[in-house]
A and B are shown apart, each in its own frame.
Chain A
């Protein structure tokens, strides 16, 4: 999982009680998220870690269970073309394969 090279992201602690600004320089798409989003993006950007590792790290850092939140966020990142590859993760792979077989079988 890699960050699209056109993406600019930054966390502004003093704006709207702390917001991550995510901007696609190519498509001009811009959206805001929270501080966890910034940590997720940094992990993808700097360490290219997979979804499981992101969840582990975020859960440990914030001492919460952010699993669903992170999956939803990764989904949004994919839809908005912020990340350029589907997460190399068993859960996502299974969803992909299921979708593939459904399509193949005409369901």
Chain B
């Protein structure tokens, strides 16, 4: 079944052609290896996500950020002070999210500050608000190997993208990607794969090769329990669609880098399990790092393990009340994650749990109200 997808995973992680685009992974994987071996949390996060605003110019059908309704967002100075502390702690990667980050007037000031600290950066955007002036500045600040602007592209044609985005923005997004490419800005496209766009993945890839995209990630929809218009595709359908992308990828002289985030790899498929079990040195990053290596900050300064765990139960503190160093170092605030267990759960019967650690805790909590249950995408689970 999944032969060529497996080959891709094997080759992609060791492909010298794209090794310059994976520079920042080496230290992270190294730390990950040692911390897993010794079963410890890191002294400081390697990567931090800043959710800088809940404001957005779109109202995408799948988005949940608007529901959170933040009113008192961190100001520029508060964000800069946090970044200084993170730099001092040893954090070296930052990603910015929203809402739509470019809705904030100080977005370029924040980006400039992060780059002045020599931290690597990615910014998640819908690309509809990016102007030439942004491009001029970004082209001077971003490092093409380690930074990128991540743009959401959910279809290869306007009908699909605009349906999901709930606005007629497809042409604006494509034009803005082209404009950014002209300024040599590193662009990563992220496609959230659903039942709506699963047949368009290879066309999305083809389109990206024509407009100057450097990297692409196909990210299966997070399996929300709540009702949505969209459905997370089965592993079988996802792999089938992905293999069509690979057919195109293999034929091109100048393919773009398919940078699958480890969380997007359907490791619950039997053949993959076997491979990952034997090849942890090649792909050592299967389980979630939330709270162990990373945290995310909401627009009001609350600290959570990840973007899908913005609930009081998982909140470790607020940077307006205390220093982030204290929040991070106090293991008692991260006990829901540290005390994750498998005994008495279905994962206990599975050898692969040593590698996957039960998968996505947030998805498990969202579906079963218990982070100790398996990731609902796992084929061991009858969901």
Which chain B residue shows the least CB distance to A18?
Answer: B43
Measured CB to CB, the closest approach of chain B to A47, in angstroms, equals 13
B345 within 8 A of A: no
Q: Is B30 in contact with A21, judged by CB distance below 8 angstroms?
A: yes
Q: Is B43 in contact with A8, judged by CB distance below 8 angstroms?
A: no
Residues of B within 8 A of A (CB): 23-24, 26-27, 30-31, 34-35, 38, 40-44, 90, 92, 118, 120, 146
Q: Is B38 in contact with A14, judged by CB distance below 8 angstroms?
A: yes
Which residues of A are found within 8 Å of B44, using beta-carbon distances?
10
Q: A16-B34, A25-B24 are in contact. Are A10 and B146 (CB under 8 A)?
A: no
Q: A94 vs B36: C-alpha distance in the bound complex, in angstroms? A: 46
Which residues of A are found within 8 Å of B23, using beta-carbon distances?
25-26, 28
14 contacting pairs across A/B (C-beta < 8 A)? A8-B90, A10-B92, A12-B31, A12-B43, A14-B38, A15-B34, A21-B27, A23-B30, A25-B27, A25-B92, A25-B120, A26-B23, A30-B26, A30-B27
Known A14-B42, A25-B24, A30-B30; 20 more pairs at CB < 8 Å? A6-B118, A8-B90, A10-B43, A10-B44, A10-B90, A10-B92, A11-B90, A12-B34, A14-B35, A14-B38, A15-B31, A15-B34, A15-B35, A15-B38, A23-B26, A23-B30, A25-B23, A26-B23, A28-B26, A30-B27
Residues of A within 8 A of B (CB): 5-6, 8-16, 19, 21, 23, 25-26, 28, 30
Which chain B residue shows the least CB distance to A38?
Answer: B90
Q: A23-B27, A28-B23, A28-B26 are in contact. Are A11 and B43 (CB under 8 A)?
A: yes
Measured CB to CB, the closest approach of chain B to A13, in angstroms, equals 6
Which chain B residue shows the least CB distance to A46?
Answer: B88
Which residues of A are found within 8 Å of B41, using beta-carbon distances?
14
Q: Is A8 in contact with B31, judged by CB distance below 8 angstroms?
A: no
Measured CB to CB, the closest approach of chain A to B318, in angstroms, equals 25
Which chain A residue shows the least CB distance to B22?
Answer: A28
Q: A23-B26, A25-B24 are in contact. Are A14 and B40 (CB under 8 A)?
A: yes
Q: A28 vs B38: C-alpha distance in the bound complex, in angstroms? A: 24
Closest 5 CB pairs of A and B: A10-B90, A14-B40, A23-B27, A15-B34, A8-B92
Partner of A25, one of B35, B43, B146: B146
Which chain A residue shows the least CB distance to B120?
Answer: A25
Which chain A residue shows the least CB distance to B44?
Answer: A10
Measured CB to CB, the closest approach of chain A to B328, in angstroms, equals 13
Measured CB to CB, the closest approach of chain A to B23, in angstroms, equals 6
Which chain A residue shows the least CB distance to B41?
Answer: A14
Q: Is B27 in contact with A8, judged by CB distance below 8 angstroms?
A: yes
Measured CB to CB, the closest approach of chain B to A17, in angstroms, equals 9
